Amino acid sequence: MKYSKKITLIVSVAILVSSALLTGHYFKYNYTKSVKVGWYYLNYEAEPVIGDYVLFPAPERAYKAVPNLESVLPKGTLLLKQIIAVDGDQVCSDKKSVTVNGHSIAHRLPQMWRSFASFGCSILAPGTVYVIGHTPASLDSRFYGAIETNTIKSKGEYIGTFSDLF
């Protein structure tokens, strides 16, 4: 690695860390493929909107929908998913897709997950959002329904990976 890239990397990390410490914001590394792998800047003050990534504890409904989930996802685990619908939106899901207000958003569920998902249409209640991952087998609102906005811990803004710097 060139000397200038090393200096850039060190200075960038120092700025990010000092910024986080001064503002009370933090970072999370997402290593699963349910959303983009990499670092996310956690912003506890921003109001999340459609398209934003949000961090929230796995809902109790997830553990009821998927047998033995707790053996691989301990209760209280924070999930990072993307908001695709907000209160007042109509969300419909079936084995092949998820639509929001008539527009196809998500992909088909793998056969092995279909028995755990909930299908049908609903209008999201006030104070709720529908979240989804980027992979077909992502544990998201298709399994546990909309989440309450008051359970959202933070908005996550994708930064990238260290390899993006090189």
Which residues lie closer than 8 Å to 22 by C-beta, 6 or more apart?
A: none
pTM over 0.85: no
pLDDT tens per residue, range 99-156: 899 998 867 666 666 666 777 899 999 999 999 988 877 888 888 889 999 999 888 8
Q: Which of 47, 39, 48 has its CA nearest to residue 20?
A: 39
Q: How far is CA 138 from CA 20, 54, 110, 112, 165, in A?
A: 29, 15, 10, 12, 28
Query: What is the predicted pLDDT for the residue at 47?
Result: 80
pLDDT tens per residue, range 46-68: 788 999 999 899 999 888 888 88
Question: How many other β-carbons are positioned within 10 Å of the β-carbon of residue 150?
Answer: 8
Q: State yes or no: pLDDT of 19 exceeds 80.
A: no
Q: State yes or no: pLDDT of 161 exceeds 70.
A: yes
Which superfamily is assigned to 3-161 in CATH? Answer: Umud Fragment, subunit A (2.10.109.10)
Please provide the average confidence, as pLDDT, over all residues in the chain.
79
Q: State yes or no: pLDDT of 16 exceeds 70.
A: no
